[in-house]
Structure 1
Amino acid sequence: MDKNTQGIMYMQEGKFEEAASLFNEVIEESPNDPVGYINFGNLLMHMKDFEHATRFFNKAIELDASAATAYYGLGNVYFEQSLFQPAQQNFQKAMELGLEESDVYYMLGLCLQNQEQFKLSIPYLLRAAELSPDDEEILFLYGLSLAQANHLEEAKATFENVIGINPEHSDAHYNLGIISIYDENIDGALAHFNEALRIQPDHLLAANGKHNIEELLKDKDR
């Protein structure tokens, strides 16, 4: 096992000092190889040392302007600081350079969501879902963008797919409840809100939705 691989394993295990030591050795042994800088940058990002992580990713790019994973790492650094525009630019650059993984499409979609560009986020989250079809969180966020862009039928089908993967996904039930209201299916909405609250008793949005429906039903009975 080479030092980069071992360092990544240490990082995943939370052994940051051991990982840092190995990545430092990699850089000392191969100072013109961007990989060591990228791995050290990822480690620093996990440690929330964004300033130094940025320097390492930029050094990797200086050594190899086509290092797609360096741009991806830089995008994550900006995203973690809620700097969505520069994060978006770096994720797009990583994709232009050939990074074809669900994570980069997912993160780009999230950047656009956070900038309330819901329609623009849809194709990226769709591609992320295609590359990771069993990832319920990617699928859920894809459904959320569809709903926010008023593609309610597609959003409904997507949230139902989320529940197919994880029947205990409270937010998917909540959103299906909201869509049921738009479909004038009050009983269906109430059932989804109740299910969301069964799964997550402190789900405030579901509780509010349930309360509003119950008040509406009371008014009808008067």
Structure 2
Amino acid sequence: MDRNTKAINLMKEKKFEEAAQLFTEVIEENPEDPLGYINFGNLLMHINDLERAQRFFNKAIELDQHAATAYYGLGNLYFEQSVYPKAQDNFQKAIEFGLEEADVYYMLGMTFQNEEHDKLALPYLLRATELNTEDDEILFQYGLALAQSNHIKDAKDIFVKVLQLNESNSDAHYNLGVIALYEDQPEVALQHFNEALAIQPEHVLAENGKKQIEQLLDSN
């Protein structure tokens, strides 16, 4: 196992000081290789040292202007700071330079989602679901973007698929409840809100939805 791989495994075990020591050795031995700087930047992101992380990602790009994962790192860094236009620029560069992974499309979609540009988010979130068909959170966010773009039927189909992947996704039940209300099916909505609350008893939106339906049904 090479030192980069060993250090990445140490990061996963939250042994950050030991990982930092190995990454430092990698950089000292190969100061012209951008990979060491990218990995160290990722480590600094994990411990929330964003200023230093940015310097390491920028150093990697100085060494290789096509270092896709360095741009991805910068995208994540700006996303953490809610600087979404800069995050978008860097995620798009990562894709342009060959990073064809679900995470980069997902994060790019989420930058638009957080700016309430749901229609702009759709193609990126769709691509993320194509690249990773087993991640219920990616699929859920795609469904949410569809719903917020008024593609209600398509959103409903997606939330059903989310529950097929993860029957404990309370937010999928909540959104199916909202769609059922939109379709004038209060009993179905109540069932979904109850399911959401069974999974997550503190789900405030589902609790409010349940109360509104119960008041509606009681008044009839």
TM-score in terms of structure 1 length:
0.98
Alpha-carbon distance, 1:219 to partner: 2.2
Partner of 2:98: 98
Kindly indicate whether residue 12 of structure 2 is the aligned counterpart of residue 12 of structure 1.
yes
**Structure 1: any 5+ residue segments left out of the alignment?**
none
Kindly report the root-mean-square deviation, in angstroms, between the aligned alpha carbons of the 2 structures.
0.7
Alpha-carbon distance, 1:86 to partner: 0.7
Structure 2 distance, partners of 1:55, 1:123, is: 31
Kindly indicate whether residue 115 of structure 2 is the aligned counterpart of residue 115 of structure 1.
yes
Deviations 1:11-63 (A, max 9, x none): 11101011100100111111111000000000000010000000000000001
Partner of 1:216: 216
* SS of structure 2 residue aligned to 1:99: coil
Kindly indicate whether residue 54 of structure 2 is the aligned counterpart of residue 42 of structure 1.
no
Kindly indicate whether residue 30 of structure 2 is the aligned counterpart of residue 30 of structure 1.
yes
Deviations 1:84-139 (A, max 9, x none): 11111100110011110000001001111001010111111111111110101000
Alpha-carbon distance, 1:174 to partner: 0.2
TM-score in terms of structure 2 length:
0.99
**Aligned pairs for 1:34-183 within 5 A:** 34-183=34-183
How much identity, in percent, do the aligned residues show?
Answer: 65
Q: For this pair of structures, how many residues does the alignment match? A: 220
* SS of structure 2 residue aligned to 1:98: coil
Structure 1 distance, partners of 2:63, 2:193, is: 53
Structure 2 distance, partners of 1:150, 1:174, is: 17
State the one-letter code of the partner of 1:150: N
State the one-letter code of the partner of 1:175: N
